[in-house]
Amino acid sequence: MKELKITPIKDGTVIDHITAGSALKVLRILGITGEEGYTVSVAMNVTSKKESLKDVVKIEGRELKPEEINKISLIAPRATINIIRDYNVVKKYRVQIPDVLEGIAKCENPNCISNQREPIQPVLKVISRNPLRIKCVYCGRVQSQVEKNLI
Ligand SMILES: [Zn+2]
Protein backbone atom coordinates (compact mmCIF):
# COMPACT_ATOMS: atom_id res chain seq x y z
CA MET A 1 0.00 0.00 0.00
CA LYS A 2 1.27 3.49 -0.76
CA GLU A 3 1.56 6.09 1.96
CA LEU A 4 -1.77 6.78 3.52
CA LYS A 5 -2.51 10.23 4.85
CA ILE A 6 -3.84 10.02 8.36
CA THR A 7 -5.99 13.05 8.92
CA PRO A 8 -5.63 14.76 12.30
CA ILE A 9 -8.40 14.57 14.85
CA LYS A 10 -9.59 17.39 17.09
CA ASP A 11 -10.00 15.56 20.39
CA GLY A 12 -9.41 11.96 21.34
CA THR A 13 -6.80 9.22 21.29
CA VAL A 14 -4.42 8.06 18.59
CA ILE A 15 -2.80 4.67 19.07
CA ASP A 16 0.23 4.58 16.81
CA HIS A 17 2.92 2.00 15.98
CA ILE A 18 0.56 -0.91 16.45
CA THR A 19 2.05 -4.16 15.17
CA ALA A 20 0.97 -4.37 11.52
CA GLY A 21 -2.27 -6.29 11.09
CA SER A 22 -3.23 -6.12 14.79
CA ALA A 23 -5.50 -3.06 14.82
CA LEU A 24 -8.72 -5.05 14.96
CA LYS A 25 -7.41 -7.14 17.85
CA VAL A 26 -6.50 -3.92 19.64
CA LEU A 27 -10.05 -2.63 19.23
CA ARG A 28 -11.42 -5.93 20.50
CA ILE A 29 -9.21 -5.87 23.60
CA LEU A 30 -10.24 -2.28 24.26
CA GLY A 31 -13.87 -3.36 23.97
CA ILE A 32 -14.54 -0.91 21.14
CA THR A 33 -17.14 -2.35 18.81
CA GLY A 34 -18.29 0.78 17.00
CA GLU A 35 -21.64 0.68 18.77
CA GLU A 36 -20.43 3.24 21.31
CA GLY A 37 -20.92 5.97 18.74
CA TYR A 38 -17.37 7.27 18.67
CA THR A 39 -15.77 7.97 15.32
CA VAL A 40 -13.06 5.33 14.99
CA SER A 41 -10.55 5.26 12.15
CA VAL A 42 -8.42 2.21 11.50
CA ALA A 43 -5.43 2.25 9.18
CA MET A 44 -3.79 -1.09 8.62
CA ASN A 45 -0.42 -1.92 7.10
CA VAL A 46 0.60 1.67 6.49
CA THR A 47 4.23 2.57 5.85
CA SER A 48 6.21 3.92 8.74
CA LYS A 49 9.66 5.44 8.98
CA LYS A 50 10.78 3.31 11.92
CA GLU A 51 9.25 0.00 10.98
CA SER A 52 8.30 -1.31 7.62
CA LEU A 53 4.57 -1.41 8.29
CA LYS A 54 2.30 -0.49 11.16
CA ASP A 55 -1.35 -0.02 12.08
CA VAL A 56 -2.89 3.15 13.50
CA VAL A 57 -6.18 3.54 15.37
CA LYS A 58 -7.82 6.89 16.05
CA ILE A 59 -10.71 7.29 18.44
CA GLU A 60 -12.40 10.65 18.33
CA GLY A 61 -14.07 12.19 21.35
CA ARG A 62 -12.64 9.74 23.85
CA GLU A 63 -9.41 9.94 25.87
CA LEU A 64 -8.37 6.45 26.83
CA LYS A 65 -6.71 5.99 30.21
CA PRO A 66 -3.27 4.32 30.50
CA GLU A 67 -4.72 1.37 32.41
CA GLU A 68 -7.24 0.80 29.63
CA ILE A 69 -4.59 0.87 26.97
CA ASN A 70 -1.72 -0.94 28.64
CA LYS A 71 -3.33 -4.30 28.06
CA ILE A 72 -2.76 -3.92 24.33
CA SER A 73 0.99 -4.15 25.07
CA LEU A 74 0.50 -7.92 24.95
CA ILE A 75 -0.18 -7.80 21.22
CA ALA A 76 1.27 -4.40 20.28
CA PRO A 77 4.36 -3.92 22.49
CA ARG A 78 5.66 -0.89 20.58
CA ALA A 79 2.38 1.00 20.47
CA THR A 80 2.40 4.66 21.43
CA ILE A 81 -0.57 6.58 22.76
CA ASN A 82 -1.23 10.17 21.83
CA ILE A 83 -3.92 12.11 23.64
CA ILE A 84 -5.20 14.89 21.39
CA ARG A 85 -6.93 18.08 22.50
CA ASP A 86 -7.81 20.76 20.02
CA TYR A 87 -5.56 19.14 17.37
CA ASN A 88 -2.52 19.14 19.66
CA VAL A 89 -0.80 16.17 21.26
CA VAL A 90 -1.09 16.93 24.98
CA LYS A 91 0.16 13.55 26.24
CA LYS A 92 2.27 10.89 24.63
CA TYR A 93 3.37 7.62 26.14
CA ARG A 94 4.30 4.05 25.32
CA VAL A 95 2.21 1.12 26.38
CA GLN A 96 3.52 -0.87 29.33
CA ILE A 97 2.76 -4.41 30.29
CA PRO A 98 0.62 -4.21 33.45
CA ASP A 99 1.62 -6.07 36.66
CA VAL A 100 -1.62 -8.02 36.75
CA LEU A 101 -3.92 -9.07 33.91
CA GLU A 102 -7.44 -9.23 35.23
CA GLY A 103 -10.08 -10.52 32.86
CA ILE A 104 -7.80 -9.97 29.87
CA ALA A 105 -6.58 -13.48 29.12
CA LYS A 106 -7.73 -16.94 30.10
CA CYS A 107 -5.53 -19.39 31.98
CA GLU A 108 -4.23 -22.02 29.59
CA ASN A 109 -4.80 -24.83 32.09
CA PRO A 110 -8.19 -26.35 31.16
CA ASN A 111 -8.56 -27.74 34.70
CA CYS A 112 -8.00 -24.36 36.34
CA ILE A 113 -10.85 -23.15 38.52
CA SER A 114 -11.01 -19.98 36.41
CA ASN A 115 -11.95 -22.19 33.43
CA GLN A 116 -14.68 -24.08 35.25
CA ARG A 117 -18.33 -23.17 35.43
CA GLU A 118 -17.82 -20.81 38.36
CA PRO A 119 -17.91 -17.20 37.31
CA ILE A 120 -14.33 -16.45 38.32
CA GLN A 121 -12.48 -13.75 36.49
CA PRO A 122 -9.08 -15.01 35.34
CA VAL A 123 -6.20 -13.23 37.08
CA LEU A 124 -2.70 -13.63 35.70
CA LYS A 125 0.37 -12.13 37.32
CA VAL A 126 3.24 -10.86 35.21
CA ILE A 127 6.42 -12.36 36.68
CA SER A 128 8.78 -11.30 33.91
CA ARG A 129 8.46 -8.83 31.06
CA ASN A 130 11.40 -9.80 28.89
CA PRO A 131 10.82 -12.55 28.07
CA LEU A 132 7.15 -12.27 28.94
CA ARG A 133 6.18 -14.77 31.64
CA ILE A 134 2.74 -14.80 33.19
CA LYS A 135 1.47 -16.96 36.02
CA CYS A 136 -2.11 -17.81 36.97
CA VAL A 137 -2.90 -16.79 40.56
CA TYR A 138 -5.34 -19.71 40.94
CA CYS A 139 -3.44 -22.76 39.69
CA GLY A 140 0.08 -21.38 39.43
CA ARG A 141 0.49 -22.42 35.79
CA VAL A 142 3.08 -20.34 33.96
CA GLN A 143 1.54 -19.45 30.62
CA SER A 144 3.45 -20.19 27.45
CA GLN A 145 1.05 -18.34 25.14
CA VAL A 146 -0.86 -15.24 26.08
CA GLU A 147 -1.97 -13.84 22.75
CA LYS A 148 -4.17 -16.76 21.76
CA ASN A 149 -5.81 -16.81 25.19
CA LEU A 150 -6.92 -13.20 25.11
CA ILE A 151 -10.56 -12.86 26.02
ZN1 LIG B 1 -5.05 -21.20 36.18
Domain with 127, as residue range(s), is 100-149
Residue 1 belongs to a domain: no
For 99-125, the pLDDT digits (tens) are 999 888 899 999 999 999 778 899 999
CA–centroid distance, 7 to ligand 1, in Å, is 44
pTM: 0.80
- The answer for 17, left when phi > 0, alpha when psi is -120 to 50, beta otherwise, is left
Q: Are residues 89 and 108 in the same domain?
A: no
Q: How many percent of the chain have pLDDT more than 90?
A: 56
CA–centroid distance, 143 to ligand 1, in Å, is 9
Q: Are residues 88 and 116 in the same domain?
A: no
Q: How many percent of the chain have pLDDT more than 70?
A: 95
CA–centroid distance, 60 to ligand 1, in Å, is 37
What are the two backbone dihedrals, phi and then psi, of residue 76, each rounded to the nearest 5 degrees? -135, 70
Could you give the residue ranges of the DSSP H alpha helices within the chain?
Answer: 23-30, 66-69
Ligand 1 being an ion, which residues bring their Cβ within 5 A of it?
Answer: 107, 109, 112, 136, 138-139, 141
